[in-house]
Structure 1
Amino acid sequence: MNARILVITWILAAAIGLNIAPVQAASFKIDSAHTSVVFKVKHVGYSNVFGRFDRISGGFEFDTKAPEKSSAKLVIDAASINTNQARRDGHLRSPDSFNVKEFPEITFSTTKVTKTGKNTGTVTGDFTMLGVTRSQTLDVTFNKMAPNPMSKVLTAGFSARGKIKRSDFGMKYGLGGLGDEIEVFIEIEGTSK
């Protein structure tokens, strides 16, 4: 009996494996429920304050055989900033900081993808904030690409890290007390289109 179950299990596993053809290149829409953009900034030297953006959209093209041909566009709703303190968040939306009425979006569009290891690379792109566009490079780790076990939809995930200087984009409020260098942590999950 146990041998029969083992053989049936093996046959099912093999059949499932045969039905999942390796994907070389695919287009993905960002799954905003499973994507995070988090940042860290020094607060007067005492501590680090973490915040996030709650509304993120965009998409990416990923080619497993030629990662350098991959591309991405990330769109962040600047007004969705959330540092877990309403008063501070209101100020961050003001003209002193993100000026969300005049500049409602923060965007990142890739210009170059470089593979640095088996599952690692760098992504360079045009980062636009407060109407200023500068080239920024992020370190990226490819986490996984496979059909989601629940939805059965092809899904891919990446982790990215980088640093920006807010003063490079004209955000100078509080320099000296608040850190100029912002660490950015991005977790992206996308579903195939």
Structure 2
Amino acid sequence: MKFQSLALAAAFALGAVLPAAAEPHVLDKSHASITFQVDHLGFSTVHGKFREFDAQIEFDPEKVEDTRLRFVVMADSIDTGWGPRDDHLKTGDFFAAAENPEIVFESTSVTPTGSDTADVAGTLTMKGASHPVTFMAKLNKLGPSPFDPSKTIAGFTATGEIDRTKFGMDYAAPAVSAVIPVRIDLEMSPAN
């Protein structure tokens, strides 16, 4: 069963009429997160997240390849649970957050890879540099909200890796991970 077929089956089970094209969806920020982990000299793994971000999403469950998205993450919202480290991460050694306040990911293609998976390729702009990045996305569930059956929710998990040195963040690499695993969890619903 293809990704599109899964979405169609869910939509028909809801008695919903599917849109003819990708339509705007709204990110549910109360059920969304962007997290990462960094190996620290082989002794430990530091976990972090970004507290402020938003997304513009066009999504058609019938034709997943028409999906378009743009994520904007505020660099100074980084949170690793330790203030002095977060302050350092905001400096020129890493994000240079004052000069480059936004981290932006803009999709260039979405390619279904399985019944509930797709590769989301795009351009990541961070610290004034832009490079291609691909995330592997998995549809967790598409269906009506149990709290409001008139509202359809799509839930996804996306994972990928970012080589920070490509963006001019060479500080302490590779002793402190150069390649950073990133995970995005999100729920979204049609804007209308």
Instruction: Give the TM-score range, shorter chain.
Output: 0.7 to 0.9
- Residues 26 and 56, structure 2, Cα contact 8 Å, conserved in 1: yes
Q: Is the 8 A contact 1:32 1:55 kept in 2?
A: no
| SS class of match (1:87) | helix
Normalising by structure 2, we get a TM-score of 0.86
Structure 1 gaps, min length 5? 1-16
**Runs of 5+ unmatched residues, structure 2:** 1-11
Q: Say yes or no: does 1:50 pair with 2:50.
A: no
Structure 2 letter corresponding to 1:174: A
Q: Deviations over 1:84-142 (max 9, x none)?
A: 00111111111211111001111111101100100001000011110111110111101
Q: Cα deviations across residues 23-42 of structure 1 (Å, max 9, x unaligned)?
A: 34432121221111000111
Aligned counterparts of 1:19 and 1:41: Cα–Cα separation in 2: 42
Partner of 2:184, secondary structure, is strand
Deviating 4+ runs (over 3 angstroms) = 17-20
Q: CA RMSD in A?
A: 1.6
- 2:51 is equivalent to residue 59 of structure 1: no
- Of 141, 151, 154, the residue aligned with 1:153 is 151
Q: CA deviation at 1:19?
A: 6.5
Distance 1:192 1:172 in 2: 40
Measure the CA separation in 2 of the matches of 1:173 and 1:70.
36
CA contact (8 A) 2:14 2:143 kept: no
Q: What TM-score, normalized to structure 1?
A: 0.86
Name the structure 1 match of 2:109: 112
| Bigger radius of gyration among the two | 1
Quick one: distance in 2 between partners of 1:100 and 1:159? 26
The equivalent of 2:3 in structure 1 is none
